[in-house]
Amino acid sequence: MVFDFLQPLDDNFLAFIQGLSPQTLGKKVVFHTDTEFPNIESASIAIIGVLENRGLGDTKEIVDLSNIRKEFYSLFPGNWQTQIIDLGNIVAGESLEDTYYVLKTAIAQLIKNKVVPVVIGGSQDLTYAMYRAYDLLEQMVNVVSIDSTFDFARENGLLSESYLTKMIVDEPNNLFNYSNLGFQTYFNAQEEIDLIEKLYFDAYRLGEVCNNPTIAEPVFRDADLVSIDLSSVKSSDSGNFATFVPNGFSGKEICSLSRYAGISDKVSSFGVFNHENSKQESVLIAQIMWYFVEGFHFRSNEYPFGTKENYIKYIVTLDDELVFYKSNITERWWIEIPFISLQNNKLKKSTLLPCVYEDYLAACAGEVPERWWKAQRKNII
């Protein structure tokens, strides 16, 4: 069994948990110890550490996640009914591929059991292993990356900076959509920005998201996998001055985005990567994880639609007939991507794309929503 490869949490950490206040999060979590393994079937969220950073090209630095765990479990939970387990750590394998294999197999097993894995790790190329977990689930995947760069392969580039190319090129190709939140133009070649457009992917500049964080909500609502690169947060808020980042998301903004990810009914895996082994940054990561769990607790379970009786249907007739749905419960909007029988569809049936009220107003004014148009193009190429 793949969980046999997970390293239990050590006695020093468990002693720290014993010393916490009874009201803290650490007293409400079931841990993987030398004598006990958590019951996956009763859990909603599983924390997994991955002690692997070879994607950064530095095999000397040891990945230490103990500070993150101590900060996270010292926090007080909200009024949650969410059962959290901590499965311990995946130790770096003999090769990077060995680590990928254990991680992807563990992720797939958790998702099959309707448990959402929260991965804390070293280098962001571990996102590729999380993506490959969906091969075993036989579904198309929507990936959202909160990152200042697109992580396309570059000459002499590190794996943590090129995993997106592997997602696009490697078979089986289950990537339906990639969305980037927070890219900074001066960190990305114009050819890479053009390629994002040609592939009909979505990308939102840092300024766009900071000025209007709500534009990220429908992006997360359509995501399966969410990956955060901690270098997308400015150093003054993250505490990471080893690699100085003058511009990026604030602590408040990254936590808001994490909550959006948690509240999405569709997000089934979540990861935080590329952090320094510093106590300062561990405080922020703990709060990012806290907000994800907070969002998870408030999921409305609107997706997938079991019945449309709680939704109002709107039809807008342009060159194409656009069908919108509005939830009576949350007042959120979706637009239908139709199945085109005479085309080679990636999606094997009609599906619903999250959108916003402004998309409906634009359609009423005769303008086809850009995200709908891109989704149509991706579906038939």
Domains, in order of start, for the chain: 2-297 (3.40.800.10), 311-380 (no CATH)
Taking alpha carbons only, the member of 136, 96, 99, 103 closest to residue 117 is 103
Q: What is the mean pLDDT of residues 271-277?
A: 90
A 10 A CB-CB count for 197 gives 11
Q: What is the band of 278 on the pLDDT scale with cuts at 50, 70, 90?
A: confident
> What pLDDT score was predicted for residue 345?
57
CA distance 338 to 323: 9
> What pLDDT score was predicted for residue 367?
93
Taking alpha carbons only, the member of 340, 348, 375 closest to residue 200 is 375
SS3 label, residue 50: strand
pLDDT in tens, 20-45: 999 999 999 999 999 999 999 999 99
CA distance 340 to 264: 27
Question: Residue with structure tokens 């900060």?
Answer: 71
> What pLDDT score was predicted for residue 230?
95
Residue spans of alpha helices (H) in the chain: 11-18, 66-73, 96-112, 126-132, 163-169, 190-198, 206-211, 217-221, 235-238, 251-263, 279-297, 357-364, 370-380
Assign 3-state DSSP to the chain and report helix, strand, coil percentages, each to 5: 40, 20, 40
- Confidence (pTM): 0.94
The pair phi, psi for residue 170, each rounded to 5°, is: -70, 145
Taking alpha carbons only, the member of 55, 356, 330, 4 closest to residue 212 is 356
Q: What is the mean pLDDT of residues 336-352?
A: 67
> What pLDDT score was predicted for residue 205?
97
CA distance 276 to 65: 10
